[in-house]
Amino acid sequence: MTLEATRSTPGAQTSAILSALASTERPAPPSALSTSLTFGWRALLKIKHVPEQLIDVTIFPVMFTLLFTFLFGGALAGSTEEYIQFLLPGILVQGVIMITMYTGTTLRTDIEKGVFDRFRSLPIWRPSALVGMLLGDAVRFTISSLVTLTLGLLLGWRPGGGVVGVALGVLLLLVFAFALGWIWTFLSLLLRTSQSVMGASMLVITPLTFGSNIFVDPATMPGWLQAFVEVNPVTHLVTAVRSLMGGVDAGGSITLTLVWAAALVAVFGSLTMWRYRDAH
């Protein structure tokens, strides 16, 4: 009889629902860390369902390392084994930096599908969808680093800094890559297609990587190019990683790299959240 009365009376239905909700303890809101990790796991699940995404972190590092080692090794250092000692940390940096642009293209694809409209409506920490995506990409960057390091060891690279130096170098690279990714997230919210995001990213990444000390000593470059190389943040990153892995004094390159990373997050992280809040 009570059930029938509840069904026939709208007011009774409302009272029953409110009574059921009131009798249950309200769950605590998710923390910023838990929601960020959840979105990071979502990014990794994409790889599970579309394993082709691993091509850029497995095939490309191998191709770049072999190509530049055997293309420049004999001409610049006399042998590939000697050149790989100089090149490996730099090519490691280049490989990771170049795949950071996929952060922006992936985000732009989600926006085009309407997925992020749903994320924006959830009662969670607002940046968690973006931070989680960058954390998920950090796993891809780690895979790329491991592939490059393994190939380097097979080609004769021997890091003077040992396991600790290599681990610190990779960690510093991941920190910078995370910071750099905020540029591409901002571009993905600014531009209208994933193709335009990729094109704009390449316009930035190409001079940063090739106009650095990855392949040759800047002392051999003309003065105007040396001036650019000296202020290039990728140059500071390569110097720091090369020093850590080589077991030599890095000077102020580590500090400069961390300052650059903090500045990128402060500027482009803020711009991204401003655009994310006001877009659509």
168-194 confidence digits (pLDDT tens): 999 999 999 999 999 999 999 998 888
Q: Read off the pTM.
A: 0.84
pLDDT band at 243 (very low <50, low <70, confident <90, very high): very high
pLDDT digits (tens, 9 = 90+) for 52-90: 777 878 888 899 899 989 888 877 777 888 899 999 999
Distances (CA, A) of 78 to 74, 81, 86: 4, 9, 12
State the pLDDT confidence band at 231, using cuts at 50, 70 and 90. very high
DSSP H helices, 115-211, are 115-121, 128-154, 162-190, 194-210
pLDDT of residue 208: 94
pLDDT confidence band for 259 (50 / 70 / 90): very high
Summarize pLDDT for 8-19 with one digit per residue, the tens: 555 667 777 666
39 Ramachandran zone, left/alpha/beta (phi>0; psi -120 to 50) = alpha
d(C-alpha 261, C-alpha 115), whole Å: 29
Inter-CA distances, 252 with 35, 62, 179, 233, Å: 36, 31, 19, 12
Beta strands in 11-62 (DSSP E): none
